[in-house]
Structure 1
């Protein structure tokens, strides 16, 4: 896979972009976690599982306490009231999505723990074209046990595995956006940009993987293409507030 890295990039970067099944048929190993992480590291020089792990150790508890001090957020209160049994990384993703007003289903779909096969998931869930992380779970609320994971794209399961922590599943999911040149879906764009910048350390001055949506022009009153900015305003504001909070928290 290392020797053929340039061939993989050439195939993925073709215009028009190849169908995901075409990529998978030519590079099946690319959709196995070990090679997802390796390809991402060759592409970005970042060990994505390690980067996420270090970030959670460094600021995970501080982020949780930041939101705990804002009881006016109803969804945040519900998430924190579920107890400490949920993994910190999963809880933080839920907190971020609640803060940004993004529904968890825009990024993660939970399904019954018995649905551990790709065919079962594709038959029982309506899978969107944009990426989703599928988590088969069992147990009561607050004591959820994750039975495995799947990544879906273009309405089908493209990768799956059984790993011990949500962190490794999140790492594989995040890497897929870069490996396959996929934009962040609107439903989870703020959360993904936050993860990219705060946890992974990818901070470009220009450009974004979030889609450029359309807004109503205040001057003309017509729908226009939203201007691209280096950092989403909501994300930048939260990053600044968290930085200030972490200094005091330490």
Structure 2
């Protein structure tokens, strides 16, 4: 994959192929290891290691900011954070904080992180999803049976271990495939790009700038 990077990159940027066609042409790219490698080729930064180290570094301060939020939005955030109050699973706690951040930035996590109880239930929604993450959880189970990434109505990856890992993979695919952030999550992805990953971090949206000031206060 490294040897064909320049050719693949030219195809992505110049031809803007459909996701389904590109996946058929370059199936090896749609593996977690290769997404990490492609992100490194594009940005020179390690995707998963950088994301998790920065996210964990900011989590205590981020939790404080989220918990201090008032009003209806604050109540919704508190309800989300309570989901992981007694949970020792680090990836689930990361997922909960991320969902709280989405609400804080006035975006809707339920429209992006879709949950289903069966694969049959998920099929119809996946075909109509522009970009998102789905998880299938049997009733009464916290651990997902499957977690996957959807782009342009195509399930591009599945059998990912956790929702937070799927989010990292999707962020990497956005760079690998030169995609725009979905309008419904543009602030959350900008936070990841510019605050966590420190990519083009000198130009910030006002909303992200205000959050950055609170994080570094």
What residue is the counterpart of 2:101 in the other structure? Answer: 96
> Number of residues paired by the alignment?
211
What residue is the counterpart of 2:76 in the other structure? Answer: 75
More displaced 10-residue stretch of structure 1: 184-193 or 124-133: 124-133
Cα separation, 2, equivalents of 1:183 and 1:7: 21
Q: Quick check: 1:136–1:146 contact (8 Å CA) kept in 2?
A: yes
1:167 aligns with 2:159: no
Cα separation, 1, equivalents of 2:197 and 2:31: 20
What does 1:124-143 align with in structure 2 at a 5 Å threshold? 124-125=124-125, 127-138=127-138
Q: 1:61/1:139 Cα in 2 relative to 1: closer, same or farther (>3 Å)?
A: farther
Cα separation, 2, equivalents of 1:139 and 1:122: 14
3-state DSSP class of the match of 1:14? helix
What does 1:48-67 align with in structure 2 at a 5 Å threshold? 48-67=47-66
1:105 aligns with 2:117: no
Q: 1:138/1:123 Cα in 2 relative to 1: closer, same or farther (>3 Å)?
A: closer
The structure carrying a bigger helix percent of its residues is 2
- Look at both structures and tell me which one has the larger radius of gyration over its CA atoms: 1
Deviation at 1:48, TM superposition (A): 0.9
Gaps of 5+ in 2: none
Deviation at 1:138, TM superposition (A): 4.1
Q: 1:94/1:11 Cα in 2 relative to 1: closer, same or farther (>3 Å)?
A: same
Deviation at 1:204, TM superposition (A): 4.5
What residue is the counterpart of 1:153 in the other structure? Answer: 151
Cα separation, 2, equivalents of 1:74 and 1:235: 21
Q: Quick check: 2:116–2:122 contact (8 Å CA) kept in 1?
A: no
Q: 1:96/1:203 Cα in 2 relative to 1: closer, same or farther (>3 Å)?
A: same
| Deviation digits for residues 38-62 of structure 1 (CA, Å, limit 9, x no counterpart) | 1111111111110122113312122
Q: CA RMSD in A?
A: 2.1
| Deviation digits for residues 96-134 of structure 1 (CA, Å, limit 9, x no counterpart) | 11112211134211122x42xxxx466342544521111
Cα separation, 2, equivalents of 1:2 and 1:121: 38
What residue is the counterpart of 1:232 in the other structure? Answer: 205
Q: TM-score, normalised by structure 2?
A: 0.87
Cα separation, 1, equivalents of 2:198 and 2:50: 8
* Divergent runs of 4+, >6 A: none
What residue is the counterpart of 2:7 in the other structure? Answer: 7
